[in-house]
Structures are given as C-alpha cells and as structure tokens.
Structure 1
Amino acid sequence: MDPARRRFLRLSGIAAAGAIAGCSTETGTDTPGQGDGDGGSTPTATATPASGGAEFDFGGWLSDTSNYDGTTADMRGSGSVTIEVGAEANGGGFGFAPPAVWVDPGTDVTWEWTGNGGAHNVVAESGADFRSGDPASDAGTTFSQPFEDPTTVTYFCNPHRGMGMKGAIVVGDPDGAATATPGGQEYGFQAATFDAYWYSLYNMSTNIAMSGNGVPFPLNDQMAELQSRRMPAMLEHAGVERPPVSNPNLSLASFTEGDPSFAQEPVLEDDSGRPDASTLAWNRSDSSLVVSPSSVGWTHLKGVTWAKNFQNHFDLLPGEMAPKFRAQLLATLAQVGVNAAILVGGSRENGALTHGDSFEFLSEYHPSEGRIVDETRRPHHHSAMLWFLSDLNSLAQNDWFGYVNPQPLIPKEAGAEAVFDPPVGIQEITDGVAQATMDLFDASEVASMESTRSVGQMLGAVGYYGPQAGSDEARSAAADYATALADVIADNLAGNGRVENGADNQAATQGIVAQGLLWASQFDEVDRTDTADDVVGYMLDELWDADAGTFISGTDASTYAITARDAGDITGGLNAADAVLGRSGVQERFATFFNQTFNRGRLQRAERPPSRSEDAEFPLPLPAAAGGEFGQAAVYNSEIEYDAGADEWSVTDPRFRTAEALYLANQDIWVGNWGGDFYQGRGVPGESDTPE
C-alpha cells in the first residue's frame, strides 16, 4: 500500500462519525466547459512527455500524489496540452496524468475526463484563477484554460484533494516563473473553507463517537437490544463488514463541557489505521456530567448535517469510508437522543429535558443522578432544539437513505413498530416544540430575558422551522412570530445598522442577527433583507480591524475576546451575507478572519494529519504535541483573546464547551468546503430538505 493511500485510510478511520476531507456534495449543472481546439495544424501533447522530464520545486504540493515521481513532463513546443482527469493514482481513478507539466506561454491546457474515480473537477490553488465547475463524472468531459504568462500553477480536484489528487503546471522559463509554494500563497476562501470543513468534522466526530463526554449509547437493556438489531442491519444495508472504528464511545446526549485531553495514549488497531476509540476517551472526572438542550441540540444537528452530506455523495466516497453506515449511525443517535431528551429519559416518566408532558425545556439535567440541576426555561435552549428538530424532521420525512420514516427512530424499515413508547412522530415533536417556544417566550421579551443576540438565534431557528411546519396554521403562526422578533430588532437598531443590547462581542451580535433576519426572510410574509444588509454592513465596515485580520469586540475595545459561540455568530453572518446577499469582498474577509482567529489565534486547539499543508502560515500542532501527557483532542477552545497593542493572541479558556463548539461546527459546515461548494444550500432554510 502506498504511503498516500495509507494516510488516507488512517484519516478516514479517525473521523469516526464524519466524512473524509476532499468529498464535495455539490453535483450541480455547471459542468466543465468544452475545449475549443480543433486539433488541426496545432500540435497537441498527451500524457507522454515530448522531450523527457525536468525537476522543479513545488514546495511539497505533490508530496502525497502517488503518480508524481519528482519529474515534470516537458510539453514545450506544443500549442495545446491534454491532461487526463481520473487517471490511475492514489489508490484508484484519483489522479491527473501527467501530474506535473512544463509548457510554453500561450499554451492551451485541456483536462479530459476518463470517467474513472467518480466525479472530479479542476480548481486552481495558486498561480492562476480558474475553476472547471461542479464535479463531473462523464468520460469525455473537457475543460480548457489558456496560460499566457510565465508562472507556476498548482491545482487540485475538490472531491479528492484529501487523497492527493493534485497537479502542477510550469509555464515558460522556470527562472521567470514563481516557485510553487502553496503554503506561502495568500490564504483565500478556498483554503479557509477547506480548513473549516476539517475543524467542523473534528469537533463533531470527537464529541459524538470518541470523547465519551456524554451519556453513553447504549444506556440500558432496551437500547442494547436496539443496538444488537440495528448495527448488523446497518452494516448489511451499507455493504460493509465492520464499523470504521473499534470500541466507539457513542454518545446519545453530550455533556455541557469537558477537558479535551486524552486519558491515555491513543492506539491504532492495525496497519489500516483503524483506531481503538476507547483510547481516545477524555477524563470523565473533568466533565460536567450534566446535559442541556443546547448541548444535545447543536451536537445532533451537526450529526444530521453530516448524515445528509453523506447521502448526497455516497457514490463519491470509497467503500472503506462506510459512508452509508455512518449516515445511518448519526441519524440513529440523533433519534435516540430525541427519545431520551424529550419523551422518556426523565425521572418522572417524561423526557430528561422536558417539564412534565410538555415540550418546554429545563436548562440542565444530571442523567446519572436523575436530578434536575436547573429547571429555568431559556430562549436560547429552545431555539437550539427547534433548529435541530426542524432539520431532523426533514431527514425523517424525505426518504433519506432510502427510508420513509416519520417515527422517532431513523433508520428503520417503513411500517415497522416504533422502538420506544409513546410512538410520537418527529413532525409532532417539532411542531410541539415550536408551539411551546412561541407560547413561552413573547417575542417582545426575548431580548430582555437574554439579549438581542438570542433574538437573532431565535429568528434563525424559526426560519429553519418554516419549511418544516406540519400545517398551514403552524407555518402562519411561525411567520407571525418571526415578524414580531424582527420588529424587536428594529426597535434595538441604531441608524447606522448597529444592534443594541446584544452580546459582549458586538460583531457576534451583528452576525447572528443578520443571519437570523435572512433565514426568517425565507417566509414570504417576512422580508427584512434590507435590515439584514444594514446589520452585516455595520459589522463589515465598523468592526473590522484590518491590521489584526479579525473583528473587534466593540468600537472602544483594545483587547478582543472571542468565544467559540462568538465565532459561530460571526461566521453565520458572513455566510448569509455571501450566500444570500451576494455582498462583494465577504469571501476574502472570511478567509482572513478564519486564518487569524482559528489558526493563528488557536481557536482550533489542534489538527489531525494530513488536513492542512505543512507549509501553512499558521500551522496548528498535532494532538500529540498539543499539550498534556498524551496530547489534546482536535477541537475548539472555548475562548481566545487578541491584544491589539502587542499584536498577540492567547487562549484564555481551554475548556471544551459543547454547545458553543458544536454550534460553531454547524456554522463552519454551512459556509461550505472549498469555496462554498460543499454543503447543499449553505444552511439556508429549506435548501437541504431533500436529497439531491
């Protein structure tokens, strides 16, 4: 097995409940263009070098590309050059051939698809700006790009970049061409969303299947019986022999916080890199041991988004990834979590997090002691659960994974009896939580109970619920509630777009309010697009520190404190501004913010190989070097701080706070991988309800 393939397999195993980096979900209609060369008097070079090979320094760009032998095919003297897409490399049809070529200025390079290896595309990394379109799989598809000036170009395939499907082109005299050092290139939207993909995956998979920082699944005999039936059935349905991780620490409800340090040295089971997840557990003595609606809601929403992501590109993922099994497992855990949290997991024959037989949520519950820690009803907990349940409802109702299943367990065969009593459907639960939320929290009082930030989050949740409402009456009530919430924002809006009475971090308030207004504006009756534009405009124009490359906490702040939740709010606002408003410059702003805050500032604690270039401007430590006896998990720190006077970042709270981290992980995946082409619909309500 070649080293690049082994690294890929190891990574696919470590990502216990997630996806491999390098697999795009977008398979839209923008197919690569056709070449315009007619093959007449202009000579065309193919995959055979015209005059031997040359050696160039690509800065390690092709170090994990298995068909690159260190030489560059000399294609000079040809007016056009053809490169195969889907050539045999990296363990399958996952290569460009030749992977590196040397051409004259004025040469047209055409990429031609072989039809092998699934869907591919061609995207520039450095030295040029081109993109073939969405991934395509048809043999004979072509994409052409002229190269007029001396340069060195690096490029990749979106869906299979993580497998080493990359290439390079030297144009003209190498002495006049820039050396290809991707890590030294400007950090752009492609790179930022690529890293956002990875960090989102790390936080989700660690929290759901590795850390043990939650209520374990199975918890009782009934769940054990469910597991004994469902696991073999899911493996058979997915066509795989065993789960990709041994001894997983599956969690049906995440604790509110924990210390993300491994309790022992991690162990890989065999040469395939299949990890023994029991060695990746955290020390439970440092966990809160309590659950909240937000820790449950944001965690399982992340699982649902990944399950949907898998569904939309089962055919692109290699079999050893077991994507269909993972999708079913994530959805099953989400459903079991709903049963425990809302229906039957409490000490009084009710849900662990509900008041009596209502859909009103308490704030904290201690599962092992069967004790309510905090019975207060809070808006942000309700909005977190409503956001999650709305997405889960679309998963249950719309034939994902080949199942039609409105009952509270996914997946199960249509017509099968419910596993738990009472057999309340997901639609009923979702509508019930929405109605309880609107009854409990008068729109005019949400800001005074918490802040205008919570109003923004509630707007986003209600906007997400709109397409999932079970009746016209329920949808109309939600639209009225969204209108009332938007009016609260208008009452707290300064003339310049600044939202008053928000969070300590003003940029976070602006971001989540802008996103909430845009998500709620998906109702025909609610159009606050202009207000959202003003709100995000204030964030971009008044709260951006160009020297620091991040957003300031407030107009008078010299030290910027940024929590994981703050970063999620800001990311949500930037995503909405780009995906819905189409504001220019937002992608560049996000890239700079992400690189400075997540990478340089260490909001992301650590990474896993080989997710980022070794030549990255701000490399993060690998877990073994991230601190502690055996290293720390690759998850988000809770809070970081920037000192503008000293131009220095520091980690001020290294705890893992589940709700904040997984909320940010959801916002990260909605931004989209590799330039916004990853997550279907960018998180806009109703855009990811049915499989593509």
Structure 2
Amino acid sequence: MDRRTMLRLGGIALATSVAGCSGSSPDTGGETDEPTDTATPEPTDTATPTPGSSGDAPPGADVLGGPDDLQSGASIRAATLDSDQGAGQFVFTPAVVWVEAGTTLTWSIEGAAHSVTAYHRDNDRPHRVPEDAPAFDSGVLEAGNSFEHTFDTPGVHDYYCTPHESLGMVGLVVVEEATGPGAAPVEGVSGTAGSNLSTLLGKLPSGDGGDGDGGSSAYGWEQATFDSYWYSLYNMSTNIAMSANGVLFPHNEQQQQAFEERFPKMLEAADQERPPVKNPNLNMAPFTEGDPYFTREPVLAGEDGRPDASTLKWDGSESSGVVSPSSLAWTHLKGVTWAKNFQNHQDLLPGALAALFRSEVLSTLAQIGTVATLVRGGPEGNGALTKNPEENLLLVSGFRPGDGTVVDDTPRPHHHAAMLWFLSDLTSLAHGGWFGYENPEPLIPPEKVQKLTDGMGKTVMNAFSPADVASRSTRDLGTMLGAIGWYGTHAGDDQLASEAAEYANALTGEVEANLAGNGMVEGGTENQAATQGAIGQGLLWASKVDGVDHAAAADVLGYMRESLWDEEAGTFATGEGDSTYRITARDAGDITGGLNAADAVLGTNGVKEQFATFFDRTFNRGRLQRAERPPSRDEGAEFTLPLPPAAGGEFGQAAVYNGAVEYDTAAEEWSVADRRFYTEEALYLANQDIWIGSWGGQFYQGRGVPGTNDTPK
C-alpha cells in the first residue's frame, strides 16, 4: 500500500462532506428547454469520449470534446453513484462538454431527483453564462426523466443541480470558445460547488478561465475559504482522532473502567451502532512538537473500511512527549468548534458521518483534557499544568505525562491567553447542555467550567500586567487582547466583565505606546506581518466587550495589508526591505486572523481577494500545508479523501502543517524551512482557518464573529 492509498483510507474517518439541499426552482419552460416523461435514455455514441478528451477521468471530472473537437450532440448523465468513485457522489458526466453553436444536449436523470439549472441572474444565482444567453432550468426531475436544451450563444455556460449544489454537482457546457462570465474566476459560488467549478475551469485551455493546474487565475475567496475549512479539519482530525497523536496521561483502573462504560453509552446516545473509527483513544494530550510521519499503515476493521486508530501512529521517537497549555488549549478549542459545527448541522450532514457521535467525542476529549490539566492528572493529584492550584490557576509551560515531571515551570502570557480562550468557548458549550448529552453525567458540570473560566480570567489579569505582556512581545498583546475579549463575553458576572474591559483597555494602551505613526507596531516578532495581524485581530475581538475601543486597528491592519504586501510574491513580507520571508504556522495564523478581522468587523475592501492570493501562494504552492492529493478515483473505496483541489506536492504523508516555509524574493521560489509539526502553532492556525472560512457549506451563509455569537450569520 503506497502513501496515497494510506491517506485515502484515512479519509474514511476524516471526511466530513457538508451536505445541504435547497428547494426546487420553478420550471421555466420554453421551446428549447424540454423536460420529458420518457424513460432515461441509454447514453448515445455522441456521449462517448473521443480521442483528445479526458475519457479516463472519473465521473464528474471528465471532459467530452475540445476546441478542435466540437460535438454536434451529446447525452449527459445526471447521475447518483453507488459509491464515491468519482469527483463526488452526485455528478454530471461528462462534466465538461464542448459543442458547436446550435447543439441540443440531453440530460438523463438517474438514481435520484436532480435539476439542470444555469448559473444565471434570472435564476437568482451568480451570472456565469454568456450575457445574451437565456436562463435554463429543468426544475427538479425524478429519476427516469430527461431534459433538453439548445445552446446557441458562444461561450462557457456553468450550471448546477439545485438539490445537490452544496455537494458540488456542477457542470460546464463550452459553446465553440471558452470565453465569457462562465470562464472567469469563480466568485459568489461557495463551498464544494465553487471549488468544483474552479477545478473544471482548470481543464479549459490556459488563459481561458483557468491555468490548467488549479492556479490562482481561477482561485478566489470561495476556493480559499473552502480549502481552509478542509485544512482545518485535517489538522484537527489527524492530530486527535486518527493517529493517536499525543502522549498518555497516567490513568488508573478506575479511569479505564469509566472510559469503557462511557464509550458504549455515547454510541447509544447518538443512536450509532459503532464508531466511524475503531479504537479511538480519548486519554491523549497533544504533544508540543514532533515529526508527522506515520510509522505503519492503518488496519481496516472488517469489510466496512473503518480505520483502526491504534494501528496508525506517529513516530514516537520524534515526539517531544511534552504538553504545553497552548498545545492543549488550541487543540481542544478546535475540537469544541467542530463539535458545535457537527451538532448544529447534524440534520444536514450525511448519516454515515455520525455527526452527533463526533460531537460527543470531541466535547468529551475537551472535558478530559480540562480535568487532567486543571483539576487532577498531575503527579500530586493536582491539575498537570497548574502551578499553585490552592492559590490560583497559574500554569507551568511544559509537563511530560510519561514520567509526570514538569519540564518548564515558568508561567508565560501566551499560554494563559490560549487557555483562557479555550475555557471561554468551553463555557458556552457547557451552558448549552453538552448537546443534551449527559452520560451518565458531564465530566465537568457547567458551573465548574464557569468557575474554571472565571478563575483563569482572574489569574491572567492578576499575574500579567499589560506592561509585562508588552515587554515580552507586543505580539503577545494581540493574543491576550483576543482572549480577554472572548472571555469578557462569557464572564460569570457583570463585575468580572467590567474588569475584563478595564484590562483590555490597559492592553490597548500598551499597543498605542508601541505604535509608530505609519501604523507599524514595534517590539514584536521577527515576522512583522504576523505582529500586525495579531494586534489587529486582538483589538477588534476585544472591542466586542462593552467599553473597549478598537480605534488603532484600521492603521495596524492597513500597514500590514499595504506596506508589507508583496504583490508579485502573493504573500506578506516579514519586514520592509527583507529579501527572504520566513512564515511559520503561527505567523500564518496571526496574518489570517488579522485579515479575518479586517473583513468581518471593519468591512475593509479587497480583503477577500488578498486572502485568496495569500492562501494559494503560501499554503498551497508554498507547501505550508503538508498534504498530497490521492488519485481522484479508487474503485474499491467507499469514500475518497476530499483534499482541496490545489493540495499536492512532495510533503504528503500527513495532512498537517509544516513548521515553516520561506520565500526567496531573488529566486522567486518557495521552500520548506522546517518540516516538523508544532501542535500549538498548527492548531492555532487551524482555528483561524475555520473562523475565516465559509464554514464548509453555503447553508452557513457567512460566519460568526468571536465575542458576538457561536452561530454563523
């Protein structure tokens, strides 16, 4: 079994395709639009791929004809595949058809109800057909029917299936030439549909809507946020669920028995016969760093293709074996975010995904991590990361569960900020009733979670003066501002919320004291763009607390977006005049957070386009994301790993972030500078990835703003 196959099998557990069905559109009728009640016709000879077409591509990614091979007729299947062996379960095949003007095409409806609907303003969708072309819409047709439409207007006509657009069921008809709105980079079509349209555009000749390799000419906001959604999922799932990536906390027979009793009850509560992953280990702590290479191939459980998590391991000799507050906090904050994601949309997600069960697993992991590190789990019965548990919640910076030793007892502001951010989000989950799951009862009652959160908030405000935070790094001011802003909206009473606002204003004062006239923040990290992003997002999220101002944020983010943006490289310079840009996973997280805040809170023009370019160049082409696309078709696979279209390259054994990449401005080349995996940095970035994204499907209709709500709006 090669590395690609291993990743594809791992995708059985990781894949969380977001599904949604919209209502049907009215039948527009017309002489050239003819739905019929006839039986589904067999594909004709004209639908058989001809020499020069990509007839060996999987359904949903196949092309019929070409610029020099225009068809005079064809039959297209609107198909429901028995298994995910193509570009998706619901596909148009051929997905791209080149025809002569005046050609009538026939769609046969198979396996489920589908529609054939143009991306046309008259259909209340983005206009992606030639300007003079009429709208076409079959309405939703049951299996066994067919639909015809005659194409007279030259150019690219993009279309979709109304019930399955969110699952990426789209197609292209190219009439004589690849021109017009349908050949332009995709804007306004989100999620899988937008991503798949871009992939199909990449099959057009270079310069006509795509560059043939998924490049940036057809890569926009929808593609970048959709890819960031998946990258976030991989870095969370690979780290926690699949690879048992972590180190065991010491546990006794009583804890083991509690786990054995809890797990089947979780399945029962979720109405699930068995977990999608066999033998997941819920007693893990994420290590601070390691080398993400699998040491063995996954063993599948029987014929259902479920991976056995106990057989998919990292190279333990390369693991630090050390847990930090940040590695744990960012990992479980990501888990809580995904738990809410699964729970809030479980009715829209495929049943095989076991969304409610996954919510329970992730929320349980978060509770276990909290109990072990803050309540009990240390060598003396204290929380493993607590320094003086009888006095406060001051945290050590490094603990090795393997031998129960503290390896770094110096409290640091950024670790406490990460833990405060996580606990604040855990509080909202607990007060929401753990999704109604109390089996037999929560590991931590909501009132205990609130007490821990308030305790961490008070510890932060008492232990780290704003001047002390600034003296270590102004970048940490940004992280602390974001954390205190999130806490201020979840504080246990009005007095604590008021104290959080006062502390946030004092932090803001330190920012202003280190602010140059051009908006540059002094005293930060080596990557100036990351410092600007951290401060900018921190100011804006903190302003969600009553009485906190974000007046400096526009100048701070303006300096990042204007003075540090390298248009030719498509990424941010580490400083004005630098010839080599080194970007770590944390740097990318801070920059992403700054762009998210500029767009979501300030409404700054041009942010979406800038983020799309930055993401494509730095994550995809620069290889900050360490991923490899498997073959798009595997006859024996129930599911294929849905890696984003632009993922690929040599760093493909694990879908996680590299430690750092570099861009050489003289050579105009990217290189991977650090291949190690740093949990606290990677999972921080994974959180930013989901916050900026379109949350994985068009039914989300945008995203929530930290400090305001938990539900995208």
1:362 aligns with 2:396: yes
1:412 partnered with 2:438? yes
| 1:220-299 mapped onto 2 (5 Å cutoff) | 220-299=252-331
Q: Is the 8 A contact 2:229 2:696 kept in 1?
A: no
CA 1:122–1:654: 2 relative to 1, 3 Å: farther
Cα deviation, residue 9, structure 1? 13
The counterpart of 1:474, out of the listed 496, 503, 520, is 496
> Is 1:394 equivalent to 2:420 in the alignment?
no
Match of 1:649 in 2: 670
Is it true that 1:542 corresponds to 2:563 in the alignment? yes
Find out whether 1:324 has 2:335 as its counterpart: no
Partner amino acid, structure 1, of 2:593? G
Contact kept, 8 Å, 1:562 with 1:640, in 2: the verdict is: yes
Equivalent residue for 1:429?
452
Query: Partner letter of residue 39 of structure 1?
Result: G
1:229-271 deviation digits (Å, cap 9, x = unpaired) = 2211111222222111223344532111111111223444455
- Retained in 2: the 8 A contact 1:108–1:147? yes
Matched, 1:522 2:522: no
Name the residue aligned to 1:3. Answer: none
With the length of structure 1 as denominator, give the TM-score of the two structures: 0.80
Aligned to 2:461: 438
The alpha-carbon deviation at position 636 of structure 1 amounts to: 0.8
**Aligned residue in 1 for 2:214:** 183
Contact 2:236/2:334 (<8 A) preserved:
yes
- Evaluate the alpha carbon distance shift between residue 353 and residue 97 of structure 1 in structure 2; reply closer, same or farther with a 3 A threshold: same
By how many angstroms is 1:555 displaced?
A: 0.5
CA contact (8 A) 2:628 2:647 kept: no
Residues 48 and 461 (structure 1), Cα distance of their counterparts in 2 relative to 1, 3 Å cut: farther
Query: 1:222, CA displacement in angstroms?
Result: 2.9
The percentage of aligned residue pairs carrying the same residue is 52
SS of residue in 2 equivalent to 1:488: helix
Change (3 A) 1:287 1:9: closer
Partner Cα separation in structure 2 for residue 385 and residue 120 of structure 1: 49
Corresponding pairs, count = 641
Do residues 166 (structure 1) and 192 (structure 2) align? no
Amino acid at match of 2:578: A
Amino acid at match of 2:669: E
**Aligned counterpart, 1:601:** 622
User: Does the 8 A contact of 2:373 with 2:385 survive in 1?
Assistant: yes
Deviation string 1:303-325 (CA, Å, 9 cap, x unpaired) is: 11111111122122222221211
> What does 1:35-74 align with in structure 2 at a 5 Å threshold?
39=29, 43-45=33-35, 53-54=46-47, 55=49, 63-65=57-59
Whole-angstrom CA distance in 1 between matches of 2:363 and 2:44: 55
Whether contact under 8 Å (2:400, 2:407) holds in the other structure is yes
CA–CA distance in 2 between the matches of 1:205 and 1:586? Answer: 29
CA gap of 1:75–1:285, structure 2 versus 1, over 3 A, is: closer
Change (3 A) 1:481 1:131: farther
Amino acid at match of 2:265: A
Pick closer, same or farther for the CA change 1:650–1:428 going to 2, 3 Å.
same
Q: Which moved more, 1:242-251 or 1:504-513?
A: 242-251
SS at match of 2:406: strand
Distance in 1 between the 2:598 and 2:377 partners? Answer: 40
Which residue of 557, 560, 570 maps to 2:581? 560
- Distance in 2 separating the partners of 1:476 and 1:61: 65
| Counterpart code for 1:642 | Y
2:383 aligned residue (351, 362, 372): 351
Residue 318 to residue 32, structure 1, CA distance change in 2 (3 Å):
closer
Equivalent residue, structure 1, for 2:187 = none
Of 675-684 and 507-516, deviating more is: 675-684
Q: Which residue in the other structure is 1:383 paired with?
A: 417
Aligned partners of 2:23 and 2:163 also within 8 Å: no
Contact in 1 for aligned 2:527/2:587 (Cα 8 Å)? yes
Work out whether 1:14 is the aligned partner of 2:18: no
Matched residues in 2 for 1:582 and 1:153: separation? 32
Q: Which residue of 2 aligns with 1:305?
A: 337
| Pairwise CA distance, 1:549 | 1.0
1:452 aligns with 2:474: yes
Give the conservation status (yes or no) of the 8 Å contact 1:343–1:351: yes
Q: Counterparts of 1:684 and 1:158 in 2: how far apart (Å)?
A: 29
RMSD between superposed Cα atoms in Å: 4.5
**Aligned counterparts of 2:248 and 2:60: Cα–Cα separation in 1:** 41
Query: What is the CA–CA distance in structure 1 between the aligned matches of 2:115 and 2:461, rounded to whole Å?
Result: 45
Cα deviation 1:331-381 (Å, max 9, x = unaligned):
101001100000011223311111223211111112122211111111100
Determine the structure 1 residue equivalent to 2:527: 505
CA apart distance, 1:527: 2.8
The 3-state SS of whatever aligns with 1:503 is coil
1:574 aligns with 2:578: no
Counterpart position of 1:627: none
Q: Is this contact kept in 1: 2:627–2:656, CA < 8 A?
A: yes
1:151 is the counterpart of 2:155: yes
2: CA distance, partners of 1:83 / 1:511 = 48
On the 8 A contact 2:418/2:483 being kept in 1, the answer is yes
- Which structure 2 residue ranges, 5 or more long, are not aligned? 130-138, 143-148, 184-202, 205-211, 633-639
Structure-2 change in CA distance of 1:366 and 1:160 (3 Å): farther
The equivalences for 1:608-687 within 5 A come to: 609=630, 619-621=648-650, 623=652, 632-673=653-694, 677=698, 682=703, 684-687=705-708
Going from structure 1 to structure 2, the CA distance change for 1:549 and 1:654 (only over 3 Å counts) comes to: same
CA distance in 1, matches of 2:367, 2:394: 18
In 2: Cα distance, 1:263 partner to 1:675 partner: 31
2:493 partner letter:
S
The amino acid of 2:455's aligned partner reads G
Deviations 1:400-446 (A, max 9, x none): 53x1xxxxxxx425xx55657x9961111111111111111112321
Q: Comparing 302-311 with 276-285, which one deviates more in the overlay?
A: 276-285
Question: What are the within-5 Å matches in structure 2 for residues 477-496 of structure 1?
Answer: 477-496=499-518
1:211-239 deviations in whole A, cap 9, x for unaligned?
33323378332331222122111112222
Distance in 2 separating the partners of 1:204 and 1:243: 18
Question: What's the CA shift string for 1:569-599, capped at 9, x where partnerless?
Answer: 0111111212222222211111111111112
Q: Tell me, yes or no, if the aligned pair for 1:639 and 1:653 is still in contact at 8 Å.
A: yes
Q: Is the 8 A contact 2:299 2:307 kept in 1?
A: yes
* Whole-angstrom distance in 1 between the partners of 2:549 and 2:173: 50
Secondary structure, counterpart of 1:642 in structure 2: strand
TM-score, normalising length from structure 2? 0.78
Question: What corresponds to 2:18 in structure 1?
Answer: 23
1:432-486: per-residue Cα shift (whole Å, max 9, x none)? 11111111111232110x2111110111111111221111111111111111111
Structure 1 unmatched runs, 5+: 1-6, 133-137, 404-410, 624-631
Alpha-carbon separation, structure 2, partners of 1:231 and 1:120: 45
Residues 44 and 146 (structure 1 numbering): CA distance in 2 closer, same or farther, change over 3 Å? Answer: closer
- Counterpart Cα distance in 2 of 1:294 and 1:288: 14
Name which of structure 1's ranges 274-283 and 176-185 shifts more when overlaid on structure 2.
176-185
